[in-house]
Amino acid sequence: MKVLVIGSGGREHAIVWKLSQSPRVDKIYCCPGNAGIAEIAECVDISPKNFKALSDLARYEWIDLTVVGPEDPLAHGIVDHFEREGLRIVGPTRAAAQIEASKVFAKDFMRRYGIPTAEYRVFTSYLHAEEYIKMKGAPIVVKADGLAAGKGVVVAETVDEAIEALRRIMKERVFGDAGERVVVEEALTGEEASYLVFTDGETILPMVSSQDHKRVYDNDKGPNTGGMGAYSPAPVVTPEVETKIMERIMKPVIRGLRKEGLRYRGVLYAGLMIKDSEPYVLEFNCRFGDPETQPILMRMKSDLLETLMAIVEERLDRVALQWRPEASVCVVLASGGYPGSYEKGKVIEGLDEIKEMKDVVVFHAGTKYRDGRIVTSGGRVLGVTALGRDIREARERAYEAVKKIRFEGMHYRSDIGIKALNREAADIQ
Protein backbone atom coordinates (compact mmCIF):
# COMPACT_ATOMS: atom_id res chain seq x y z
CA MET A 1 0.00 0.00 0.00
CA LYS A 2 0.96 3.63 -0.50
CA VAL A 3 0.38 6.11 2.31
CA LEU A 4 0.51 9.90 2.34
CA VAL A 5 1.22 11.74 5.62
CA ILE A 6 0.48 15.46 5.74
CA GLY A 7 2.65 17.67 7.97
CA SER A 8 6.25 18.46 8.82
CA GLY A 9 6.73 18.13 12.57
CA GLY A 10 7.86 15.62 15.15
CA ARG A 11 4.38 14.15 15.31
CA GLU A 12 4.43 13.46 11.56
CA HIS A 13 7.93 11.95 11.77
CA ALA A 14 6.67 9.59 14.49
CA ILE A 15 3.63 8.65 12.37
CA VAL A 16 5.81 7.99 9.31
CA TRP A 17 8.30 6.02 11.43
CA LYS A 18 5.55 3.81 12.84
CA LEU A 19 3.80 3.31 9.50
CA SER A 20 7.09 2.29 7.91
CA GLN A 21 7.14 -0.77 10.21
CA SER A 22 3.93 -2.17 8.73
CA PRO A 23 4.50 -5.08 6.34
CA ARG A 24 1.61 -3.78 4.21
CA VAL A 25 3.25 -0.41 3.53
CA ASP A 26 5.21 -0.29 0.29
CA LYS A 27 5.86 3.44 0.11
CA ILE A 28 5.22 6.56 2.18
CA TYR A 29 4.94 10.12 0.90
CA CYS A 30 5.02 13.14 3.19
CA CYS A 31 3.98 16.72 2.42
CA PRO A 32 6.07 18.69 3.06
CA GLY A 33 8.08 16.59 5.54
CA ASN A 34 11.47 17.41 7.07
CA ALA A 35 15.06 16.18 7.03
CA GLY A 36 14.36 13.22 9.33
CA ILE A 37 11.24 12.13 7.49
CA ALA A 38 13.18 12.28 4.20
CA GLU A 39 15.28 9.32 5.39
CA ILE A 40 12.26 6.96 5.34
CA ALA A 41 9.70 8.63 3.05
CA GLU A 42 9.54 10.63 -0.17
CA CYS A 43 9.00 14.26 0.79
CA VAL A 44 7.00 16.39 -1.65
CA ASP A 45 7.03 20.15 -1.16
CA ILE A 46 3.29 20.77 -1.05
CA SER A 47 1.74 22.95 1.65
CA PRO A 48 -0.81 21.26 3.95
CA LYS A 49 -3.11 24.15 3.00
CA ASN A 50 -3.09 23.29 -0.72
CA PHE A 51 -5.88 20.72 -0.74
CA LYS A 52 -6.12 20.47 -4.52
CA ALA A 53 -2.41 19.78 -5.00
CA LEU A 54 -2.52 17.20 -2.21
CA SER A 55 -5.54 15.37 -3.63
CA ASP A 56 -3.99 15.51 -7.11
CA LEU A 57 -0.84 13.88 -5.72
CA ALA A 58 -2.92 11.21 -3.95
CA ARG A 59 -4.76 10.42 -7.17
CA TYR A 60 -1.71 10.55 -9.47
CA GLU A 61 0.40 8.33 -7.17
CA TRP A 62 -2.49 5.96 -6.39
CA ILE A 63 -2.29 6.68 -2.68
CA ASP A 64 -4.35 4.17 -0.67
CA LEU A 65 -4.65 6.20 2.55
CA THR A 66 -3.89 9.77 3.65
CA VAL A 67 -3.12 10.60 7.29
CA VAL A 68 -3.38 14.19 8.48
CA GLY A 69 -1.02 15.31 11.25
CA PRO A 70 -1.71 18.99 12.04
CA GLU A 71 -4.99 20.57 13.10
CA ASP A 72 -5.15 23.40 10.58
CA PRO A 73 -5.99 21.33 7.46
CA LEU A 74 -8.58 19.37 9.45
CA ALA A 75 -10.19 22.57 10.71
CA HIS A 76 -10.37 23.89 7.16
CA GLY A 77 -12.00 20.77 5.71
CA ILE A 78 -9.31 18.62 4.10
CA VAL A 79 -11.26 15.46 4.98
CA ASP A 80 -14.39 16.81 3.30
CA HIS A 81 -12.33 17.71 0.21
CA PHE A 82 -10.63 14.29 -0.07
CA GLU A 83 -13.89 12.41 0.44
CA ARG A 84 -15.59 14.46 -2.28
CA GLU A 85 -12.73 13.34 -4.53
CA GLY A 86 -13.31 9.70 -3.59
CA LEU A 87 -10.01 9.42 -1.68
CA ARG A 88 -9.51 7.61 1.64
CA ILE A 89 -8.32 9.84 4.49
CA VAL A 90 -8.16 9.57 8.29
CA GLY A 91 -9.57 12.44 10.33
CA PRO A 92 -12.74 14.24 11.35
CA THR A 93 -14.79 16.39 8.98
CA ARG A 94 -14.56 20.18 9.20
CA ALA A 95 -17.73 20.34 11.28
CA ALA A 96 -16.50 17.70 13.75
CA ALA A 97 -13.04 19.31 13.96
CA GLN A 98 -14.69 22.31 15.63
CA ILE A 99 -14.10 20.39 18.86
CA GLU A 100 -10.56 21.82 18.58
CA ALA A 101 -10.92 24.67 16.11
CA SER A 102 -13.34 26.61 18.34
CA LYS A 103 -12.87 26.80 22.11
CA VAL A 104 -16.38 28.26 22.30
CA PHE A 105 -17.90 25.30 20.42
CA ALA A 106 -16.00 22.85 22.66
CA LYS A 107 -17.05 24.52 25.92
CA ASP A 108 -20.69 24.86 24.89
CA PHE A 109 -20.66 21.24 23.68
CA MET A 110 -19.31 20.04 27.04
CA ARG A 111 -21.97 22.03 28.87
CA ARG A 112 -24.71 20.43 26.73
CA TYR A 113 -23.54 16.90 27.48
CA GLY A 114 -22.49 17.31 31.11
CA ILE A 115 -18.81 16.70 30.46
CA PRO A 116 -16.70 17.90 33.42
CA THR A 117 -14.79 21.11 32.65
CA ALA A 118 -14.01 24.51 34.16
CA GLU A 119 -16.62 27.24 34.69
CA TYR A 120 -16.39 29.73 31.81
CA ARG A 121 -17.78 32.77 29.99
CA VAL A 122 -17.51 33.72 26.31
CA PHE A 123 -16.84 37.31 25.20
CA THR A 124 -16.80 39.23 21.94
CA SER A 125 -16.28 42.54 23.77
CA TYR A 126 -12.87 43.44 25.17
CA LEU A 127 -14.41 45.76 27.78
CA HIS A 128 -16.86 43.14 29.04
CA ALA A 129 -14.12 40.52 29.25
CA GLU A 130 -11.87 42.94 31.14
CA GLU A 131 -14.64 43.72 33.62
CA TYR A 132 -15.28 40.01 34.17
CA ILE A 133 -11.59 39.30 34.81
CA LYS A 134 -11.40 42.11 37.38
CA MET A 135 -14.52 40.77 39.08
CA LYS A 136 -13.34 37.13 39.18
CA GLY A 137 -9.70 37.82 40.09
CA ALA A 138 -6.71 35.56 39.50
CA PRO A 139 -5.50 32.95 38.77
CA ILE A 140 -7.67 32.81 35.68
CA VAL A 141 -7.39 31.40 32.13
CA VAL A 142 -7.76 33.40 28.92
CA LYS A 143 -8.18 31.49 25.65
CA ALA A 144 -8.40 32.65 22.06
CA ASP A 145 -11.40 30.96 20.46
CA GLY A 146 -9.65 29.73 17.31
CA LEU A 147 -6.45 27.89 16.45
CA ALA A 148 -3.23 29.47 17.67
CA ALA A 149 -0.57 26.73 17.27
CA GLY A 150 -0.83 25.76 20.95
CA LYS A 151 -0.01 29.29 22.12
CA GLY A 152 -3.50 30.79 22.43
CA VAL A 153 -4.04 29.81 26.07
CA VAL A 154 -2.71 31.95 28.92
CA VAL A 155 -2.94 30.76 32.53
CA ALA A 156 -2.64 34.14 34.24
CA GLU A 157 -1.36 34.30 37.81
CA THR A 158 -2.41 37.94 38.22
CA VAL A 159 -5.25 40.14 36.97
CA ASP A 160 -2.73 42.35 35.14
CA GLU A 161 -1.30 39.32 33.34
CA ALA A 162 -4.81 38.22 32.30
CA ILE A 163 -5.69 41.68 30.98
CA GLU A 164 -2.41 41.83 29.06
CA ALA A 165 -3.23 38.46 27.46
CA LEU A 166 -6.70 39.72 26.63
CA ARG A 167 -5.27 42.87 25.05
CA ARG A 168 -2.84 40.90 22.88
CA ILE A 169 -5.55 38.47 21.74
CA MET A 170 -8.46 40.87 21.16
CA LYS A 171 -6.82 44.23 20.44
CA GLU A 172 -3.42 43.43 18.92
CA ARG A 173 -4.86 40.34 17.20
CA VAL A 174 -1.62 38.41 17.62
CA PHE A 175 -3.56 35.27 16.59
CA GLY A 176 -5.59 37.01 13.88
CA ASP A 177 -9.24 36.01 13.56
CA ALA A 178 -8.74 33.37 16.25
CA GLY A 179 -9.04 36.25 18.73
CA GLU A 180 -12.46 37.53 17.63
CA ARG A 181 -13.93 35.72 20.63
CA VAL A 182 -12.30 34.69 23.89
CA VAL A 183 -13.13 32.17 26.57
CA VAL A 184 -12.35 33.26 30.12
CA GLU A 185 -12.46 30.36 32.56
CA GLU A 186 -11.53 29.36 36.08
CA ALA A 187 -8.01 28.05 36.56
CA LEU A 188 -8.26 24.39 37.52
CA THR A 189 -5.61 22.98 39.83
CA GLY A 190 -4.19 19.48 39.94
CA GLU A 191 -1.96 17.55 37.56
CA GLU A 192 -2.31 17.60 33.78
CA ALA A 193 -2.46 14.53 31.56
CA SER A 194 -3.12 13.76 27.91
CA TYR A 195 -5.52 11.02 26.90
CA LEU A 196 -5.87 9.97 23.25
CA VAL A 197 -8.21 7.49 21.61
CA PHE A 198 -8.78 6.03 18.17
CA THR A 199 -12.42 6.11 17.06
CA ASP A 200 -14.45 5.32 13.96
CA GLY A 201 -17.44 7.24 15.34
CA GLU A 202 -18.80 4.20 17.18
CA THR A 203 -16.00 2.15 18.71
CA ILE A 204 -13.44 3.90 20.93
CA LEU A 205 -9.98 2.35 21.51
CA PRO A 206 -7.83 4.14 24.10
CA MET A 207 -4.12 4.70 23.70
CA VAL A 208 -1.68 4.65 26.61
CA SER A 209 -1.73 7.77 28.80
CA SER A 210 0.85 10.51 28.56
CA GLN A 211 1.77 13.89 29.99
CA ASP A 212 2.89 16.98 28.06
CA HIS A 213 5.03 19.89 29.29
CA LYS A 214 3.67 23.12 27.78
CA ARG A 215 5.76 25.80 29.51
CA VAL A 216 9.10 26.67 27.95
CA TYR A 217 11.22 26.54 31.13
CA ASP A 218 11.84 24.06 33.95
CA ASN A 219 9.30 23.82 36.77
CA ASP A 220 6.53 24.92 34.39
CA LYS A 221 7.75 28.50 34.15
CA GLY A 222 7.54 30.89 31.21
CA PRO A 223 5.06 31.13 28.32
CA ASN A 224 3.16 28.24 26.79
CA THR A 225 4.68 26.48 23.79
CA GLY A 226 3.55 23.76 21.42
CA GLY A 227 5.10 21.33 23.94
CA MET A 228 8.62 20.91 25.34
CA GLY A 229 8.48 17.20 26.09
CA ALA A 230 6.24 14.34 27.13
CA TYR A 231 6.29 10.95 28.77
CA SER A 232 4.14 7.83 28.85
CA PRO A 233 2.54 6.44 30.92
CA ALA A 234 1.28 9.24 33.16
CA PRO A 235 1.12 7.79 36.71
CA VAL A 236 -1.66 10.23 37.60
CA VAL A 237 -3.95 8.30 35.21
CA THR A 238 -4.62 5.33 37.45
CA PRO A 239 -6.98 2.54 36.32
CA GLU A 240 -9.71 4.20 38.41
CA VAL A 241 -9.11 7.58 36.76
CA GLU A 242 -8.95 5.98 33.31
CA THR A 243 -12.39 4.43 33.80
CA LYS A 244 -13.79 7.86 34.71
CA ILE A 245 -12.15 9.43 31.64
CA MET A 246 -13.73 6.89 29.31
CA GLU A 247 -17.19 6.89 30.92
CA ARG A 248 -17.56 10.59 31.72
CA ILE A 249 -15.60 12.18 28.86
CA MET A 250 -14.61 10.15 25.81
CA LYS A 251 -17.79 8.10 25.35
CA PRO A 252 -20.15 11.09 25.92
CA VAL A 253 -18.14 13.18 23.42
CA ILE A 254 -18.39 10.63 20.61
CA ARG A 255 -22.07 9.95 21.41
CA GLY A 256 -22.80 13.68 21.49
CA LEU A 257 -21.06 14.36 18.19
CA ARG A 258 -22.94 11.50 16.57
CA LYS A 259 -26.25 12.78 18.01
CA GLU A 260 -25.58 16.18 16.44
CA GLY A 261 -24.84 14.61 13.08
CA LEU A 262 -21.09 15.19 13.28
CA ARG A 263 -19.19 12.11 12.09
CA TYR A 264 -15.91 11.79 13.95
CA ARG A 265 -13.39 9.29 12.58
CA GLY A 266 -9.77 9.59 13.63
CA VAL A 267 -7.88 10.46 16.78
CA LEU A 268 -9.52 12.40 19.61
CA TYR A 269 -7.25 13.96 22.23
CA ALA A 270 -8.39 15.20 25.61
CA GLY A 271 -6.11 17.53 27.57
CA LEU A 272 -7.09 16.88 31.17
CA MET A 273 -6.60 18.21 34.67
CA ILE A 274 -6.73 15.50 37.32
CA LYS A 275 -7.63 16.66 40.82
CA ASP A 276 -8.28 14.22 43.67
CA SER A 277 -8.70 11.43 41.09
CA GLU A 278 -11.37 13.41 39.22
CA PRO A 279 -10.73 14.29 35.54
CA TYR A 280 -11.73 17.66 34.02
CA VAL A 281 -11.32 18.66 30.37
CA LEU A 282 -8.97 21.55 29.61
CA GLU A 283 -9.23 21.17 25.83
CA PHE A 284 -9.92 18.76 23.01
CA ASN A 285 -7.70 18.25 19.97
CA CYS A 286 -8.92 16.60 16.77
CA ARG A 287 -5.65 14.79 15.99
CA PHE A 288 -2.51 13.24 17.50
CA GLY A 289 -0.78 15.47 20.03
CA ASP A 290 2.72 16.80 19.62
CA PRO A 291 4.97 15.80 21.38
CA GLU A 292 2.77 13.12 23.02
CA THR A 293 2.65 11.10 19.79
CA GLN A 294 6.37 10.42 19.95
CA PRO A 295 6.41 8.48 23.27
CA ILE A 296 2.97 6.93 22.60
CA LEU A 297 3.92 5.46 19.20
CA MET A 298 7.27 4.28 20.62
CA ARG A 299 5.16 2.10 22.94
CA MET A 300 2.67 0.88 20.35
CA LYS A 301 3.14 -2.78 19.40
CA SER A 302 0.14 -2.99 17.07
CA ASP A 303 0.28 -2.13 13.38
CA LEU A 304 -0.68 1.55 13.03
CA LEU A 305 -1.73 1.13 9.40
CA GLU A 306 -4.16 -1.67 10.30
CA THR A 307 -5.68 0.55 13.02
CA LEU A 308 -6.09 3.55 10.71
CA MET A 309 -7.60 1.41 7.95
CA ALA A 310 -10.09 -0.01 10.46
CA ILE A 311 -11.12 3.57 11.32
CA VAL A 312 -11.71 4.50 7.68
CA GLU A 313 -13.61 1.27 7.05
CA GLU A 314 -15.58 1.64 10.30
CA ARG A 315 -14.56 -1.76 11.68
CA LEU A 316 -12.55 -0.65 14.71
CA ASP A 317 -14.58 -3.05 16.86
CA ARG A 318 -12.53 -5.87 15.34
CA VAL A 319 -9.17 -4.38 16.40
CA ALA A 320 -7.36 -5.19 19.66
CA LEU A 321 -4.50 -2.83 20.41
CA GLN A 322 -1.27 -4.04 22.03
CA TRP A 323 1.24 -1.85 23.87
CA ARG A 324 4.78 -2.33 25.09
CA PRO A 325 5.08 -2.41 28.91
CA GLU A 326 8.07 -0.07 28.90
CA ALA A 327 7.86 3.65 29.61
CA SER A 328 8.90 6.33 27.13
CA VAL A 329 10.21 9.88 27.48
CA CYS A 330 10.53 12.59 24.79
CA VAL A 331 12.68 15.69 25.30
CA VAL A 332 12.16 18.52 22.80
CA LEU A 333 15.20 20.50 21.66
CA ALA A 334 14.14 24.00 20.66
CA SER A 335 15.71 27.02 18.99
CA GLY A 336 16.93 29.80 21.25
CA GLY A 337 14.16 32.36 21.72
CA TYR A 338 11.28 29.93 21.11
CA PRO A 339 8.29 30.40 21.50
CA GLY A 340 9.18 33.98 20.55
CA SER A 341 11.39 34.95 17.62
CA TYR A 342 14.33 32.70 16.79
CA GLU A 343 16.96 32.24 14.10
CA LYS A 344 16.97 29.40 11.58
CA GLY A 345 19.72 27.67 9.63
CA LYS A 346 21.86 26.51 12.58
CA VAL A 347 23.86 23.37 11.77
CA ILE A 348 22.87 20.35 13.88
CA GLU A 349 25.68 18.05 14.98
CA GLY A 350 25.76 14.70 16.81
CA LEU A 351 22.78 12.97 15.22
CA ASP A 352 24.85 10.12 13.78
CA GLU A 353 26.15 9.23 17.27
CA ILE A 354 22.61 8.52 18.48
CA LYS A 355 21.74 6.09 15.68
CA GLU A 356 23.79 3.44 17.46
CA MET A 357 21.91 3.86 20.76
CA LYS A 358 19.39 1.17 21.70
CA ASP A 359 15.73 2.17 22.12
CA VAL A 360 16.36 5.82 21.21
CA VAL A 361 14.82 7.62 18.23
CA VAL A 362 15.33 11.27 17.32
CA PHE A 363 12.15 12.57 15.73
CA HIS A 364 12.75 15.65 13.58
CA ALA A 365 10.42 18.66 13.74
CA GLY A 366 11.97 21.90 12.50
CA THR A 367 14.79 20.59 10.29
CA LYS A 368 15.82 20.67 6.64
CA TYR A 369 18.83 19.89 4.46
CA ARG A 370 21.15 22.69 3.35
CA ASP A 371 24.32 21.94 1.40
CA GLY A 372 24.20 18.32 2.51
CA ARG A 373 23.91 19.16 6.22
CA ILE A 374 20.89 19.13 8.52
CA VAL A 375 20.02 22.59 9.86
CA THR A 376 17.31 24.07 12.06
CA SER A 377 14.19 25.45 10.36
CA GLY A 378 11.67 25.84 13.18
CA GLY A 379 11.05 26.62 16.83
CA ARG A 380 10.85 23.04 17.98
CA VAL A 381 13.73 21.28 16.24
CA LEU A 382 14.03 17.69 17.51
CA GLY A 383 12.23 15.29 19.86
CA VAL A 384 14.72 12.91 21.47
CA THR A 385 12.63 9.90 22.52
CA ALA A 386 13.70 6.85 24.49
CA LEU A 387 12.23 3.66 25.94
CA GLY A 388 13.13 2.25 29.35
CA ARG A 389 11.89 -0.23 31.92
CA ASP A 390 10.33 2.71 33.76
CA ILE A 391 10.19 6.50 33.52
CA ARG A 392 13.52 6.82 35.34
CA GLU A 393 15.43 4.63 32.88
CA ALA A 394 13.71 6.12 29.82
CA ARG A 395 14.49 9.61 31.11
CA GLU A 396 18.16 8.81 31.71
CA ARG A 397 18.48 7.31 28.25
CA ALA A 398 16.78 10.30 26.59
CA TYR A 399 18.99 12.87 28.33
CA GLU A 400 22.10 10.80 27.60
CA ALA A 401 21.19 11.14 23.91
CA VAL A 402 20.39 14.86 24.27
CA LYS A 403 23.94 15.50 25.45
CA LYS A 404 25.29 14.22 22.13
CA ILE A 405 23.38 16.81 20.06
CA ARG A 406 24.59 20.36 19.45
CA PHE A 407 23.36 23.41 17.58
CA GLU A 408 23.74 27.09 18.28
CA GLY A 409 21.15 28.41 20.74
CA MET A 410 19.81 24.93 21.58
CA HIS A 411 17.37 25.03 24.48
CA TYR A 412 15.55 22.24 26.32
CA ARG A 413 13.90 21.54 29.63
CA SER A 414 15.91 19.40 32.03
CA ASP A 415 12.93 18.23 34.09
CA ILE A 416 10.84 16.16 31.67
CA GLY A 417 9.50 13.20 33.65
CA ILE A 418 10.37 14.56 37.09
CA LYS A 419 6.68 14.84 38.03
CA ALA A 420 6.24 11.13 37.37
CA LEU A 421 9.25 10.26 39.52
CA ASN A 422 8.02 12.50 42.33
CA ARG A 423 4.58 10.92 42.21
CA GLU A 424 6.07 7.43 42.30
CA ALA A 425 8.22 8.41 45.30
CA ALA A 426 5.17 9.85 47.10
CA ASP A 427 3.17 6.67 46.41
CA ILE A 428 5.95 4.53 47.89
CA GLN A 429 6.00 6.65 51.05
Output the pLDDT for position 419: 87
Give the global pTM.
0.95
Domain match, 14 and 73 both: yes
The total of other beta-carbon atoms located within 10 Å of residue 277's CB is 12
What CA–CA distance (Å, rounded) separates 73 from 51? Answer: 8
Q: Can you give the pLDDT at residue 171?
A: 94
412 assigned to some structural domain: no
CA gap 381, 343 in Å, rounded: 12
Judge contact between 407 and 346, C-beta under 8 A: yes
Average pLDDT, the chain: 96
Could you tell me which residues are beta bridge partners of residue 224? Answer: 215
* pLDDT band with cut points at 50, 70 and 90 for residue 362: very high
Which band of pLDDT confidence, cut at 50, 70 and 90, is reported for residue 425? Answer: low
**Which of 136-140, 219-223, 240-244 shows the lowest per-residue confidence on average (mean pLDDT)?**
219-223
- Whether residue 25 is contained in a domain is answered as yes
**What pLDDT shows up at residue 321?**
98
Q: What is the CATH number of the domain that holds 62?
A: 3.40.50.20
Rounded to an integer, the average pLDDT of 337-343 is 94
Q: What is the band of 428 on the pLDDT scale with cuts at 50, 70, 90?
A: low
What pLDDT score was predicted for residue 427? 64
State percent of the chain over pLDDT 70: 99
Handedness of CA 331, 337, 342, 346 (dihedral sign): negative
| Range of lowest pLDDT (28-32, 398-402, 422-426) | 422-426
Number of domains in the chain: 2
- pLDDT at residue 423, as a whole number: 75
Residue 334 lies in a domain: no
* Across 154-172, average pLDDT: 95
The domain of 129 spans: 125-180
Q: Is the pLDDT of residue 263 over 60?
A: yes
- Helix axis angle for 391-402 and 418-428, nearest 10°, is 150
- Looking at 93, 112, 147, the residue that finishes a domain is 93
Cβ contact 87:98 at 8 Å: no
pLDDT band at 59 (very low <50, low <70, confident <90, very high): very high
- Residue that is last in its domain, among 159, 180, 201: 180
Does a structural domain hold residue 112?
A: no
